[in-house]
Chain A
Amino acid sequence: MATNGIPGSPAKKMRPDRSTAPAALGPPTFDLDTWASNYGGALLPLRLAHVAVYCPSLARQSLTLAIAETRKGKNVELYVRLCELAKQLGMEDLGASDGEYVARQQESNRRETVRLEGELRGYKNNLIRESIRMGQEDIATHLMSTGGPLPDPNNPQSVHSAGFNAAYQAFGKMRDYCTTPTHIASMTLHLVYCALIQAVSAQQLGLAAATHFNSALANAGRLRTVGVKEEEQVKLTPIASVATGIAQLSMTYYHDAAHSFLNTPFDYHTLGTVHSTDFNRSVASANDVAIYGGLTALATYDRTELIDKVLGGNFRPFLELEPHMRKAISLYTTAKYQACLDTLRRYYSDWRLDVFLGGLASSLGETHVDRLFARIRQKSIVAYLSSYSEVSLASLADTFPPLTNSPTAMEDEVLHLIHLGHLHARLDVVNGLLIAPRSEPRAAAHAEARKMAVEIERSLRLRLMRVNVSLAGLELPRSKAGAGTWGQAEAVGDAGFGD
């Protein structure tokens, strides 16, 4: 990239420094070309880059696809970044960027920006709101496809209005010129889409993405109450649900995310292009929704909820798209925990390579899939133990093979669960037994009632005293400045009585 160089652009890396060893990740079950053909839009190159970073066996193929895809578009900066990434991964041939294309495209982008800005100024002079809105939309769309202007290296504040941020702000500026609810809906939808792209792009650059997910969440919420006609709203609601779910998932609010995904109408599947964005292709396909919803629900819902709301509810058609997910959930509900976990593990790579599920959940390099898997495992252990009064650690380890080779792995895991308060049991280290507490509801109720009586007596006494003190006018008087009330009172008290 040094060859062409965008003047002053800081050298950025696609790969976050703290990524876990990507070599550990096996090849996914899907075929990359088929998989990539499901997606489109500005997120596709970012998706491919994500795959390249984490899955070495597919790195070359996905980068080739990504670079070719970017080359077709206008986002020069992304192109340069992808070439850089290829060099970092040791693919010098791919990394050689086309300096001529970069220069030409940059120039044409610049000219287009100037032209659009000029047009917008003209519209503004004419004071026709609809034209201004459309002009603004043109600029915003242009900024989005080019990846926005580069930050000014001399002005650190300019980061906030560079890159996709510029596009987001440009879309936001449309609000003043919207005259119908449909306009507002269109703008909000663009904002959601743009915020999600911003978030993914920030994540890949190793920056904090939470603010972007937050704005995606907020805008997705607005999308539900935008006030358009019924038949239009029907198209917006599924998008709002999915976007909300993705944002919540990415901010680790798994339970809320599950709720959002499960309430997505199946119409999402056949939605097509709404307001010039096909969410199915550009953000998440119906299959993705099935995975996201299934995983988050499995990690946070209890058995009956899983049966009623996930397997039995509106979400069923989604699950039919991903039969292995449905199978995993039914295995869990029939208490075949080990089989469930095995099924999930088989698809770990696939999900790890998804740009949202594979996003980092914490600064420790843990992704959302890792977290969800850990939760599902914890839940399985707790659910497994709930049916026994005593379980030996050995049999527990048989059912749930420990994740590490340490001899105390199982014990440590169980202790951790007890400490977190998820597991109500006690460990007999000597015999290697996990013992569930005996419940004595009768005695417990008695003890509870007695405790209550004592508590009531005490608070009654405290209140009675308060009434009495007030009645007798013995409240503490206003303290006099400079003189301690107590000091004075003691003097009075000693003089008043005592001997």
Chain B
Amino acid sequence: MADVVATLLSFPPENASTLSPKEYDKVIDGYLKKLVKLPSSVWTKPVGKQNVLDLLNPAVNSIPYLAALTEQTRAVGRDTKKRQELLERAVIFCTSFDPVQVRYDGEQWTEVMNWTLAALVAGDVPTVSPVTTAMLRLDPTAGTFTTLHLSLLRYSFEAGVPSQTLPILDKDIYAFPSSPTKNVPEELYSEQHELSNAFITTKSGYGPKLQPEYVLEYYLLGAHVYIGLRDYDRARLFLEHNILHPSPHNATSALQVDAYKKWLLIGLLSEGRTWPLPRTHNTSVMKSIRSLAKAYDTLAEDFEKREFRKMAAEMEVGAQVWLDDGNMRLVKEVGDALLKYRVVDLQKTYAALPVSRVANFLGFAADTTAHMLAEMIRSGNLQASISQSAAPGDAILRFHPTSTILESDIDLEAQTRRIQDLTTFVRDADRRLQLTKEYVDVQRRAKRAGPENDMADQMDLTWDQPLPELAGVEDGDEDIMAA
């Protein structure tokens, strides 16, 4: 038994930090081959009186620790105490594993993460944050989509802690695992990678094969989280990702219809009108989506025309529809928002006017109106002030001159950085695109047709950005090395 433990501890070697990625890869390969030969009882049976996990340091011996965890979770059964003990170890593993080692064992890692999620959610204090931490540890950019992204969201909703997924949601998905291209030398897992899609591929075993629906569901659920947090811009992006999901056969998913409904409603909430459809939308898909969401389109139209009576009637008539779609609360909020926008609209026409006139316009009593206006001003929805007077109707509502608020430098910097990061992602996608068979075929044909085809095709359209600015991504790489 002792020699088994010795085998388990034989990696990493003393000089691990001095090894080149290639040597490291070789050593770990040999080590994995040794592990495979071990009987599965090694992982579950106690060594002496100790659990094998106690002998291993999760931060150093991540691979054997992970293997042991996997086997033990499979064998644990329903014993609450044992499960609890195992969960504690899993959580420790989540926060301390060596991300480079784990790249070699994606399958087990995903399995353990899924188990941990289930166990955490079933616990007394439901939480998903250890798994969030683990995901960010493996891939600080969290930008390569895996099924774990979706599982995390699903469980967080089940546990009622959707906001805990924000660290993951706030990162943008920039790639999906793809199978390595033929004839291109494979990159080593052990190397430093700028983007995580280099080591999260279809071969590395992070979850089952992706389906389009997973992506759609991820974005819809993500949008729900942002809607709940009133982050409409981000919700809009997620919903548009969903609605614009490409389909060569003009197929439409029910999830897209759902997303479209929400997209309409939050457009009304955030800007008082529906957002313009992104230019890249597929018209025939849009048509089928719209035909299924007519009630919402009508609602939006009334809203935009500020026809509050018609809208109220529409809201009442469609109550069952909203209820069935689970949009009742959103629709109610939209109804309230209409009132708000009608007052805001007054700002375009008036600089100051008596409250009694506002009340007249809204069809409310003067004191209700005064109260409501005060509430709106307090909540920052209305840039105005109300003067005091004896009767509420005589008070004067004075709109402040609309001035554009200057952006702070921090905002501008953040914006610049986001766009620069995006360029990295685009460049990567571009590279992958150039490796596809279709691209090569077209290039070959173009070459055969001769250079005098079209000057624009020959122009170098790539843009190299200044390198030292890669702040966000570089941080990520440093993390990997530090661990």
Q: Which residues of A contact B (CB under 8 A)?
A: 415, 418-419, 426-431, 433, 435, 437-438, 440, 443-444, 446-447, 450, 453-454, 456-472, 474-479, 484-486, 489-490, 492-493, 496-499
Q: A463-B280, A476-B212, A485-B251 are contacts. A499–B350 as well, Cβ < 8 Å? A: no
11 chain-A/chain-B pairs, Cβ below 8 angstroms? A428-B352, A430-B354, A450-B411, A465-B244, A467-B429, A469-B215, A471-B433, A476-B212, A477-B249, A486-B255, A489-B212
| Contact call A497/B114, Cβ cutoff below 8 A | yes
Given the complex, which residues of A lie within 8 Å of B379, measured CB to CB? none
A415 contacts B215, C-beta separation under 8 Å: no
Q: What interface size band does chain B fall in?
A: 35 or more
B116 smallest CB distance to A (angstroms):
11
B429 near A464 with CB under 8 A, answer yes
Q: Interface SS of chain A: helix, strand, loop or mixed?
A: helix
Query: Does B31 count as interface, using CB distance less than 8 angstroms?
Result: no
Contact residues in A for B407 (Cβ distance below 8 Å): 446-447, 450
- List the 5 closest pairs (A to B, CB-CB), nearest first: A472-B176, A476-B247, A489-B213, A478-B249, A429-B353
* 0/1 string, B420-433, CB within 8 A of A gives 1: 00100110010011
State how many angstroms separate the Cβ of B283 from the closest Cβ of chain A. Answer: 15
Q: How many angstroms from the CA of A443 to the CA of B406 in the assembled complex?
A: 7
Closest to A450 in B: B407
Partner of B211, one of A418, A438, A492: A492
Is B57 part of the contact surface with A, judged by Cβ < 8 Å? no
* Cα of A428 to Cα of B351 in the assembled complex, Å: 5
Give the residues in chain B near A453, CB-CB below 8 Å: 415, 419
CB neighbours (8 Å) of B248 from chain A are 475
In the complex, are the beta carbons of A465 and B357 less than 8 A apart? no
User: A451: shortest Cβ distance to chain B, in Å?
Assistant: 10
> In this assembly, does B175 line the interface, its C-beta being within 8 Å of a C-beta of chain A?
yes
Closest to B429 in A: A467
Residues of B within 8 A of A459 (CB): 278-280
B276-288 vs A, CB cutoff 8 Å, 1 = contact: the mask equals 0011100000000
User: Which residues from B are CB-within-8-Å of A496?
Assistant: 147, 208-209, 211
For A468, the chain B residues whose CB sits under 8 A away are 173-176, 429
Whether, in the assembled complex, B412 has its beta carbon less than 8 Å from a beta carbon of chain A, the answer is yes
Q: What CA separation (Å) do A429 and B251 show in the bound complex?
A: 55
B350 touches A474 (CB 8 A): no
The residue in chain B whose Cβ has the minimal distance to the Cβ of A497 is B147
Which residues of chain B come closer than 8 Å to A415, judged between CB atoms?
349
Interface 1/0 per residue, B393-430 and A, CB below 8 Å: 00010110111101100011001001100100110010
B436 touches A471 (CB 8 A): yes
Q: Check A479 against B348 for contact (C-beta < 8 Å).
A: no
Bound: A275/B247 CA distance, A = 65
Which residue of chain A has its CB nearest to the CB of B258? A486
Encoded as 1 (CB less than 8 Å from any A CB) or 0, chain B from 203 to 217 comes to 000011111111101
Asked if B172 is an interface residue, CB under 8 A from chain A, the answer is: yes
CA distance A294 to B246 in the complex (A): 57
Asked if A429 contacts B246 (CB within 8 A), the reply is no
